[in-house]
Amino acid sequence: MHALRARLSALSPGVVVVAIVAVAALYLSGHYGAPVMLFALLLGMAVNFLSQEGRCRPGIEFTARRVLRWGVALLGLRITAAQVQAMGWEPVAMVAISVVATIAFGIAMARAMGFKTFFGLLSGAAVGICGASAALAIAAAFPQHPLKERATLFTVIGVSSLSTLSMLLYPLLARWLGLDPLQAGLFLGGTIHDVAQVVGAGYSMGHATGDAATVVKLMRVAMLVPVIGLAAWLTHAQAARQPMAADAAPQDKPPLPWFAAAFVVLVAVNSLDVLPAAAVAAGNQASQVFLVAAMAAIGMKTHLKDILDVGWRPVALMVLETVFLAALFYGAMRVLAGA
C-alpha cells in the first residue's frame, strides 16, 4: 500500500499537467473543428520544459507509454464483425490490398530516400490505416530509440495535416469524378487518414455516404492488429540479430503486444452485442481521451528544433504515400465496378 501511494505521488504531477493539456486540446478541437491530435501535439510542445522538470517527468513518461497502450486497446470497441459483413467482400478486399500496398510502398520509398525500414512502416501505416492513432499504435510496438519519438511526432504532424487537407478536397474530387453516394463513401473511407476527418467528409456529402465511409474506415482500423504484429516481429527479429550481453537473459516475447491482443478481444466482445451501449460509448470516449493525452505527453518530450531538422524528404514521402493510396483505391473501385 505504501509503495502504491509512493507511485501515485510520483506520477500525479505529470499526469495532472498532461490532463490539463489534453482537455485544452479537446476544447479547442471542438470549438475550431481542427484535428485534436494536432492541437494536443502543439500544446504539448509549447510546455515541453515540463518534461525536463523532476516532478512532472515520471507522469509524462507514464502517459506517453502506458496510457497510449490503453487507448489503442480500447479502439477495438469501434468495430464489430457485423459492420464488416454488411459491406460484402469487395470493400474488405480493397481495404486489405490498399493497406498492404501502401505500407509496402512506404517502406520501399523510405529505403530509396535513405530512411530506415521502420520509418517507412510507421508513415505507411499512418497513411494506410487510421492516421495519428495508427502512428501512435505502431510506435508503441517499436523498441525505445532516440529517434523514435521524433519520427512519431513528425508522422503525426504530417498525417494530421494531410488528413485535414484531404477532408476538404476529396469530397470535391468525388463529385468531379461523378461517384454515386455509395462509391463516394467507399472512396472517402478508404483514402482519408483520420477517423474524425472521414466522418466529417462523408456526412458532408449525405447520410448514405457518411455511413459507408465510416464502416470502410473502421475496416482500415481493424488492420491495426496485423500491422502491430508485423512491427513487433520486426523489432524481435532486429533484437535477435544483435549480439547479447553475457549476463543478459533471453526474452521470449509474445507474437503480439498485450494491447493488440486486447484490441482483438474487444472487437470480438463488441461483435457479440453483449455490452451495454453506454459502456461502448464510454470506452470509445476513454480511448480518444487516452490517445489525446498520450499525444500531449509526447509533445511535451519534443523540441521544435528536432522537427525542423528533419528536412523536406519525410514530407515528400508522406505526400507520395497519400497520392499512392488515393490512386490505388480509386483504381480498385473502377476495376470492381467494371467486373
**pLDDT 10s digits, 41-78:** 788 888 888 777 678 888 888 888 788 778 878 878 87
- By three-state DSSP, how is residue 249 classified? coil
Per-residue confidence (pLDDT) for residue 53, from 0 to 100: 66
Eight-class DSSP state of 205: S
Per-residue confidence (pLDDT) for residue 306, from 0 to 100: 59
Report the pLDDT averaged over residues 209-221: 81
Report the pLDDT averaged over residues 241-245: 52
Report the pLDDT averaged over residues 216-227: 82
Yes or no: say if 284 and 74 are a contact pair by the CB < 8 Å rule: yes
CA-CA distance, 262 to 74, in Å (whole number)? 8
CA-CA distance, 166 to 331, in Å (whole number)? 18
Report the pLDDT averaged over residues 204-220: 81
Q: What is the mean pLDDT of the chain?
A: 81
Q: Residue 111 — very low, low, confident or very high, per pLDDT cuts 50/70/90?
A: very high
Residues 6+ apart with CB under 8 A from 62: 11, 14, 15
CB-count burial class (<10 Å; 0-12, 13-18, 19+) for 157: buried
Amino acid at 293: A
Yes or no: say if 110 and 119 are a contact pair by the CB < 8 Å rule: yes
Q: Residue 112 — very low, low, confident or very high, per pLDDT cuts 50/70/90?
A: very high
Yes or no: say if 47 and 281 are a contact pair by the CB < 8 Å rule: no
Q: Residue 308 — very low, low, confident or very high, per pLDDT cuts 50/70/90?
A: low
Cell numbers linked to 238: 532486429
**Is the dihedral angle over the CA atoms 83, 199, 287, 153 positive or is it negative?**
positive
- By three-state DSSP, how is residue 280 classified? helix
Judged against a pLDDT cut of 50, whether residue 104 lies above it is answered with yes
Residues 6+ apart with CB under 8 A from 258: 69, 73
Judged against a pLDDT cut of 60, whether residue 253 lies above it is answered with no
User: Tens of pLDDT along 2-30?
Assistant: 777 878 888 888 899 999 999 999 998 88
Per-residue confidence (pLDDT) for residue 175, from 0 to 100: 92
Report the pLDDT averaged over residues 185-199: 86
Q: Residue 248 — very low, low, confident or very high, per pLDDT cuts 50/70/90?
A: very low
Percent of the chain residues topping a pLDDT of 90? 19
Yes or no: say if 25 and 43 are a contact pair by the CB < 8 Å rule: yes
Whether the predicted model's global pTM rises above the 0.85 cut: no
Yes or no: say if 116 and 306 are a contact pair by the CB < 8 Å rule: no
